[in-house]
Every structure is written in C-alpha cells, then in structure tokens.
Amino acid sequence: MKKKFFIVAVASSLCFVILYTQLKDVEHTHRDRGRIPSVAAATSRKPTTAVISTIKKTTKSVMLRKLPPLTISEPFRKDIPKNGAFWNRKLHSLLRQFDSVNNETLEPHKKFHCQPESLELLQTNIQDIQTYPPLYGDFLRGMECRDSPVVHDQPGKCASDDIFLLFAIKSIPRHFERRQAVRETWGREGLYENGLQVRTVFLLGRSSADDPNLDKMVSYEAQQFQDLLVWDFHDTFYNLTLKEHVFFKWMLDQCPQVSFIFKGDDDVFANTKAILNHLKSLEPTQASSLYAGQVISDATPLRDPKIKYYVPQSFYEGPYPPYAGGGGFLFSGNLLPSLYHVSFYIPFFPIDDVYTGMCFKAIGITPTVHGGFKTFDIREQDRENPCVHKDLLLVHQRNAQQTMRLWRNMHSSMLTC
C-alpha cells in the first residue's frame, strides 16, 4: 500500500513539473510578443516583419513625445497687439503661460485638455456674440479641443523612410471625383526621376451636419485606395485649423522622416515634375527652413459678415502675418516638430492659412515668394494652355475634368511648346 502511494505521488509530481514548465513557456512567449528583442538576440536571427514594425512604431512614438525646445519669436509677439479682442487676449494669456514654465519637451497636449467653452463664458468675454454667424458658435465652443481621434488611419503610408515629397490634400467626404482626378494625375504615388519617392494623403473630417452621411462610402474608399486620413470632427470651413493641427500630429507619429510636404486643396492643379525640380535645386539652408508659395502680405481681417472670411472685430483685432495662400504651399518636413509644439500656444483661428502663417512666424520662419504658385489663377485665355502650365508649380482652381485634360495634354508626345 505504501509502495502504491509512493508511485502515485511521484507520478503526480512529475505531471505537475511538466505542466508548470509548459505554462512558464507560454507565459514567456506571450510576454515576449510585446518586447523589442535585445541587440544580442537581434544579431542571432533575422528580425521578423512584426519586430521591425514594432521597432518603427516605438521609435515614432518616442519622437512624438519628445519635441525640440521651443522659442516663440519676438516679432510674432510684437505683431499681435494686446487689446480687448477675444482671440488676442487668449493668445497673450497662453504666451504668459508658456513663459512661466520651463520649456518642456514632453508632448504639450498633456497640459491641455478639451474643455468646450460654455455659452456663459463666451457671452462674458464677447459682448456682441449674438451678432456672430451661427457657425462661429461651434468654432468658439471647440477652440480648446484639439485631439480628435482618427477614424481611418494609414499607418503604412510612410513605411519607407526615404520619402522625398508628401502631397497632403485637404478634401471633404463628398469630393470623391476631385480626389480621383488627383490620384490619376499630379498626385500619383511612386518613384519619380532620380529615385524620388512621392506619397499622397487626403485629409478629411466627417460629413457636416447639412450633408448626407457618406461614412460607408468613405470607409470603402479608404480601404480601396489607402490614402484617406479621416478624423472624428465635422468637416466645415471653420474646422480647417483643427485639421491642420491633427495633421501635424499625424505626421510626427507616422511620417517623421519626410523631406518635404506640399499642402493644398483638392481643386488645385499641381505640376509634380516642376515641384520636384524646384525642391532638388534648393541649397541645404533653404531646404531646412522652406515655407514657400504665393505669399499674401499686409493682409487685415475682413469685416463684412456676408463673406466667407469674415472675422468680427471683437474676436480679432490687428494685422495678419505674411502667409502662403492655402490653395497650395511647400514646407520642410524638419519644421514639423516645432510647428506642432507651437500650435498649442496659438489659439485656433477661423482661417487656416492665416493660422499656419502665424505658426511659421512664431517659430521664426518667413514665407518665401515663389512666382510659380498661382493660388488666384492665371489669365483666362491661358487656363487651357498646357505650355503655360509647364513652368508653373500650382494653379487654383481647376475642376476634375480640367485637371484630367490639362495633365493629358501636358504629357502628350505631340505637344510642342
């Protein structure tokens, strides 16, 4: 009897040891799935695709959290007057906040939280707010909300670290025809002359409240073409500044190594070859601080409430900085960390290209005039002439049919200029 008991006990112990060993192996396997291998381990075997993806993702996340030290330029501070206008007061309040803390390099959104402005607060600070256009109300209430989640992402868009130019095109859900024309013409992705990599993304929000819900169509398009970035906010004119901010963040997270960015509208015609030739011709100092387009200087707010670009005097008072027209402009990718960082200390402005000009001026970058950018179009008699367009970088506006026709004629073997 004692002998049987001893045999059963030994057998049970062996089973327990075997089971425990197997469980520990499973535990280590699951634990190691989320761990980047050590250098020694990496040299002993070829890393898998999943490991490479994890390393890249970790590196990009670190880059997003660590931002360069920020200096907000004195010319920007001086050019925005201190007065009773609501935006001016918010700006100088944020500048005081910036000056009062050590210039941290951690991602600044940890210090800023989405707190929609209450109607009572707005009425207290803007005495004539009842006279503002209705859409201004939505903009004002959301001025502190910056972290809209991504609905459709393209994490593999910049899998290659040697992308020379990224086309970032502002669009809205219902503009499929325009996006398709861009894909088939000047926004075509691929390897261009001298091995220059070009990629394209379209920047969208959700359908506005007055538009039909196109979520399913946009979702299919995002899967089919893998070039849509869609964020969870209504895609309205006054939310273009928010679109700018979340695009900066996405770039830092997913495409930190891009050399240059072309940012423009979906109804422009761009000359890809001319853009690439211009970028290749830049001296290193020019390339590192590039912000170029058709520059609007000495602009001031428009006070007519009937026009699209109306800015009430009680909201903003003062001149605008020189800025590149939002139809299309170029800038250097290495400016992205500073642009994203400074955008937390500049309140959202209802006109996106003015806001972008403010951000560039705040980091000490002056826009460069380039005669090849025609954001206000060219002579009417030249608009169908492909030879005229060969020396231009951009014209605005062109519909999808004009874009297709112009591109086809410019690249025809029968064209003589």
Per-residue pLDDT band for 26 (boundaries 50, 70, 90) equals: very low
Q: What's the mean per-residue pLDDT of the chain? A: 85
* Of 58-62, 67-71, 106-110, 224-228, highest mean pLDDT: 224-228
Would you list the domain boundaries of the chain? 150-410
pLDDT in tens, 74-122: 999 999 999 999 999 999 999 999 998 765 555 666 666 677 788 899 9
What is the reported pLDDT for 192?
Answer: 96
Cβ-contact 325, 292 below 8 angstroms: no
pLDDT in tens, 132-190: 998 898 899 888 888 899 999 999 999 987 999 999 999 999 999 999 999 999 999 99
What is the Cα–Cα distance from 314 to 325, expressed in whole angstroms? 25
Whether a cis peptide bond, with omega within 30° of 0, leads into 397 is yes
What is the Cα–Cα distance from 33 to 279, expressed in whole angstroms? 42
What is the reported pLDDT for 2?
Answer: 40
β partners of residue 170: 203, 265
What is the reported pLDDT for 107?
Answer: 60
Length of the chain in terms of residues written: 417
pLDDT at residue 303 tops 70: yes
pLDDT at residue 73 tops 80: yes
What is the Cα–Cα distance from 357 to 352, expressed in whole angstroms? 9
pLDDT at residue 29 tops 90: no
What is the reported pLDDT for 108?
Answer: 67
Query: 294 Cβ partners below 8 Å, 6+ apart?
Result: 324, 325, 327, 329, 369, 370, 373, 374, 375, 376
3-state class of 399 per DSSP?
coil
Q: What percent of the chain has pLDDT over 70?
A: 81
Q: How far apart are the first and last CA of the chain?
A: 107
3-state class of 253 per DSSP?
helix
User: Please, is 331 exposed, middle or buried when counting C-beta atoms within 10 Å of its C-beta (0-12, 13-18, 19+)?
Assistant: buried
Which range is least confidently modeled, 20-24, 309-313, 373-377?
20-24
pLDDT higher for 210 or 13? 210
Per-residue pLDDT band for 402 (boundaries 50, 70, 90) equals: very high
pLDDT higher for 8 or 319? 319
What is the Cα–Cα distance from 13 to 330, expressed in whole angstroms? 71
pLDDT higher for 381 or 34? 381
Per-residue pLDDT band for 413 (boundaries 50, 70, 90) equals: very high
Q: Count the Cβ atoms, other than its own, within 10 Å of residue 179.
A: 22
Pairing assessment for the beta strands 373-374 and 394-396 based on DSSP bridges: parallel
Note every long-range contact of 71-76, with CB atoms under 8 Å and residues 24 or more positions apart, other chains counting. Answer: 71/103, 71/363, 71/364, 72/98, 72/342, 72/345, 72/362, 72/363, 73/361, 73/362, 73/363, 73/364, 75/361, 76/321, 76/358, 76/361, 76/362
> Averaged over 235-250, what is the pLDDT?
95
* CATH hierarchy code of domain 150-410: 3.90.550.50
Per-residue pLDDT band for 37 (boundaries 50, 70, 90) equals: very low
Cβ-contact 52, 283 below 8 angstroms: no
What is the reported pLDDT for 110?
Answer: 62
Residue linked to tokens 């490991």: 51
pLDDT at residue 30 tops 50: no
